[in-house]
């Protein structure tokens, strides 16, 4: 019995028709729909080829040249290439920055940073989840510590100004002086403006804190130089690689190295972060790295240095701004009044429509987004807004004129939702029943869905044709 066994060389289309059909169904959904979840994208054929390669078969705990298994001479070259290209993509000197390309994704990457730099119960400050932060930045509520980052560390959020939707840096500075965090996180999950990294650095220095940048959402924009970079001011920068960066579902951690400063006695002070981060990733938190994903990171980082990639990121921002202005023209309130990046946060409070109902109705017509809190919301589970992003549509070739049509589709869907809510009342379960069972509403949805699907199929998808 060996590689010639029938089952080992059968394609999934032959060996597992049931699963093969689901793969084709998902490809069809992606082709027919408008993907507007800000954290999603369509990756390249090269990345997909790496992910389904023989590199998947190899165990390689440790770092290049220091493995716990034999047979890693080629794997070492792959990982070193991914490291070099990651630094090159962001214009970083290998004397001043190091990088770990082994984190399985963004959340494990963030927890590796905390594990490496902090002791249990050390204090952290991140943007509050309802204000646009991420779960892993210390989220908790009055009833429960939700994220492991709040379970194992003491977290205090900073907030946005309720009127402008912009981060209140003055209040952050005031609270940091009281809370004395060991680490401050400059990062977002749903915040449509660029961050003032210089101000973050000043606040961190005032309190003797590390400054961590989480650029998971904006890493492609940073690589292309279309928004400010966190690297000038941060000690550590984490990112996913599958959002605007358009690579595989994985994570990367960059860390300062080399000379940090000169002390008052004239002695050179060196950064001591490198071993802390590397040891946190393995052996503290992870086992064998995903070598197929590391290869995919390498090729994605190569793509990120090309003129075509820069043009793509410029178009992502142009499309987001067009989406913003089109929705504003249709009467929708945009949190912060606009966007500098790839996403738009729409408040539906003035329409008395919940984010959950909006997300549901849009999905019914093949537009994928997510419900999201807006400033002033009390519960992340019952938010008043939706988050919309342009990276995936831009990958498919959408330009500003196409985004105008997308905004019109969104408006049509939400208008149907308002009409359905008048019949259903406030409860989501009743709303869904009206949407599915009221003949007038369901026929309007069916017609709009057909229009969206016909429109979407004019734009190609990268990757394999069938799956």
Nearest residue to 254 via CA among 41, 102, 458 = 102
Buried b (16+ CB within 10 A) or exposed e, 73-100: eebbebbebbbebbbebbebeeeebbbb
Q: Angle CA(149)–CA(154)–CA(156) in degrees, nearest 5?
A: 95
Which CATH number covers residue 203?
3.40.640.10
For 45, 184, 249, 394, 464, the CA distances from 21, given in Å and listed in that order, are: 21, 46, 23, 27, 15
| Residue 376: per-residue pLDDT | 82
**Residues of the chain with pLDDT > 90: what percent?**
94
Examine the residue annotation and report whether 324 is marked as an active-site residue of this protein: no
Q: Which of 242, 290, 292, 342 is catalytic?
A: 242
Considering the domain boundaries, does residue 15 fall inside one? no
- Do 139 and 75 fall within a single domain? yes
User: Quick one: pLDDT band at residue 264, thresholds 50, 70, 90?
Assistant: confident
Mean pLDDT, residues 391-401 taken together: 98
Structure tokens at 308: 């075509």
| Residues 359 and 298 reside in one and the same domain | no
Q: Say what the alpha-carbon torsion angle 339, 309, 395, 133 is, to the nearest 10 degrees.
A: -40
Q: What DSSP string describes 49-86?
A: HHHTSGGGG----EETTEESSS--HHHHHHHHHHHHHH
Q: Are residues 288 and 389 in the same domain?
A: no
What would the mean pLDDT of 129-144 be, rounded to a whole number?
93
pLDDT at 313 over 80: yes
pLDDT digit string, tens, across residues 84-108: 999 999 999 999 999 999 999 999 9
213 in a domain, yes or no? yes
Query: Does 464 map to a domain?
Result: no
Using one digit for the tens of pLDDT, what is the confidence trace for 11-58? 999 999 999 999 999 999 999 999 999 999 999 999 999 999 999 999
No. of helices (H) and no. of strands (E), the chain: 17, 17
- Residues 70, 201, single domain; the answer is yes
Do 318 and 433 belong together in one domain? yes
Angstrom distance (rounded) from CA 67 to CA 153:
31
Does 94 lie in the same domain as 241? yes
Q: What is the dihedral of CA 435, 328, 313, 50, to 10 degrees?
A: -10
* Measured torsion, CA atoms of residues 224, 225, 230, 232, in degrees rounded to the nearest 10: 130
Catalytic residue among 50, 134, 137, 190: 190
Residues 240 and 329 in one domain: no
Percent of the chain with pLDDT over 70: 99
pLDDT at res. 439? 97
Domain membership flag for residue 95: yes
Domain boundary among 305, 336, 364: 305
Contact 31, 452 (CB under 8 A): no
Residue 2 has pLDDT above 70, yes or no: no
The pLDDT value given to residue 381: 77
| Helix or strand (DSSP H, E) at 297 | helix 291-303
Secondary structure letter of residue 281 according to DSSP? I
Q: Distance (Å, rounded) from C-alpha 135 to C-alpha 151? A: 12
Do residues 353 and 271 share a domain?
no
Supply the pLDDT for residue 379. 76
Residue 16 lies in a domain: no
> For position 347, which CATH number holds?
3.90.1150.10
Same domain, 281 and 321: no
Give yes or no: residues 131 and 217 share one domain.
yes
Q: Establish whether the linkage from the previous residue to 283 is cis, with ω within 30° of 0.
A: yes
Q: Which domain-ending residue is among 251, 270, 305? A: 305
Within this chain, do residues 289 and 363 fall inside the same structural domain, yes or no? no
Q: Are the C-beta atoms of residues 109 and 252 closer than 8 Å to each other?
A: yes
For residue 52, report the phi and psi dihedrals to the nearest 5 degrees: -105, 25
Q: Do the domain assignments include residue 4?
A: no
One DSSP character per residue, 118-157 reads --TT-EEE-B-GGGT--GGGT---SS---SHHHHSSEE--
Q: Using 50, 70 and 90 to split pLDDT, how confident is the model at 142?
A: confident
Nearest to 383 by CA among 363, 393, 369: 369
Is the pLDDT confidence value at 181 over 70? yes
Q: Looking at the 3D structure of the chain, how many domains does it have?
A: 2
Asked if residue 301 and residue 318 are part of one domain, the reply reads no
Domain containing residue 284: 54-305
Q: How confident is the model at residue 382 (pLDDT cuts 50, 70, 90)?
A: confident
Q: CB under 8 Å to 453, separation ≥6 — which residues?
A: 32, 33, 366
CB contact at 8 A, 102 and 282? yes
Residue 335 DSSP code: G
Whole-number pLDDT of residue 4 = 60
* Final residue of a structural domain among 305, 325, 359: 305
- Whole-prediction pTM value? 0.96
Assess whether pLDDT exceeds 90 at residue 83: yes
User: pLDDT class for 197, splitting at 50, 70, 90?
Assistant: very high
Question: Residue written as tokens 């932060």?
Answer: 133
In a domain, 8, yes or no: no
pLDDT of residue 226: 98
The yes-or-no answer on residue 54 being catalytic is no
Top-confidence residue, 82 or 263: 82
Mean pLDDT of 222-234: 98
Q: Is residue 254 part of a domain?
A: yes
Vertex 256, ends 113 and 84: CA angle to 5°?
Answer: 95
């Amino acid at each position: 019995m060996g590689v010639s066994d029938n089952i080992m060389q059968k394609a999934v289309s032959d060996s597992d028709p049931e699963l093969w059909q689901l793969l084709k169904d998902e490809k069809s959904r992606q082709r027919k729909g408008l993907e507007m979840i800000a954290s999603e994208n369509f990756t390249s054929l090269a990345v997909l080829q790496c992910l389904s390669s023989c590199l998947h078969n190899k165990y390689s705990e440790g770092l290049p040249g220091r493995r716990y298994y034999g047979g890693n001479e080629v794997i070492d070259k792959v990982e070193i290439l991914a490291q070099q290209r990651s630094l090159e993509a962001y214009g970083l000197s290998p004397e001043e920055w190091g990088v770990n390309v082994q984190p399985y994704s963004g959340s494990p990457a963030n927890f590796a940073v905390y594990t490496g730099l902090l002791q249990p119960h050390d204090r952290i400050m991140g943007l509050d989840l309802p204000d646009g932060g991420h779960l892993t930045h210390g989220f908790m509520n009055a009833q429960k510590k939700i994220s492991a980052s709040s379970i194992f560390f003491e977290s205090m959020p900073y907030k946005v100004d309720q009127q402008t939707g912009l981060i209140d840096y003055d209040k952050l500075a005031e609270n940091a002086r009281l809370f004395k965090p060991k680490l401050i996180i400059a990062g977002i999950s749903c915040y449509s403006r660029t961050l003032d990294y210089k101000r973050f650095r000043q606040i961190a220095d005032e309190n003797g804190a590390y400054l961590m940048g989480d650029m998971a959402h904006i890493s492609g924009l940073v690589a292309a130089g279309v928004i400010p970079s966190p690297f000038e001011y941060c000690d550590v920068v984490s990112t996913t690689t599958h959002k605007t960066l358009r690579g595989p579902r994985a994570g990367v951690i960059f860390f300062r190295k080399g000379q940090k400063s000169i002390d008052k006695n004239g002695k050179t002070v060196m950064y001591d972060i490198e071993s802390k981060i590397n040891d946190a990733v393995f052996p503290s938190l992870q086992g064998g790295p995903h070598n197929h994903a590391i290869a995919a990171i390498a090729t994605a980082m190569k793509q990120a240095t090309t003129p075509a990639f820069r043009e793509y990121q410029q178009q992502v921002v142009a499309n987001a701004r067009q989406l913003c202005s089109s929705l504003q023209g249709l009467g929708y309130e945009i949190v912060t009044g606009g966007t500098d990046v790839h996403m738009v946060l729409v408040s539906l409070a003035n329409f008395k429509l919940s984010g959950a109902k909006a997300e549901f109705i849009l999905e019914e017509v093949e537009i994928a987004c997510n419900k999201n809190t807006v400033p002033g919301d009390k519960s992340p589970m019952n938010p008043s807004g939706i988050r919309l992003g342009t990276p995936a549509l831009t990958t498919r070739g959408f330009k500003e004129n196409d985004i105008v049509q997308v905004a019109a589709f969104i408006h049509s869907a939400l208008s149907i939702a308002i009409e359905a809510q008048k019949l259903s009342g406030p409860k989501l379960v009743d709303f869904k029943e009206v949407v599915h069972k009221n003949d007038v509403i369901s026929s309007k949805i069916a017609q709009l869905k057909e229009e969206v699907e016909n429109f979407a199929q004019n734009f190609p998808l990268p990757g394999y044709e069938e799956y």
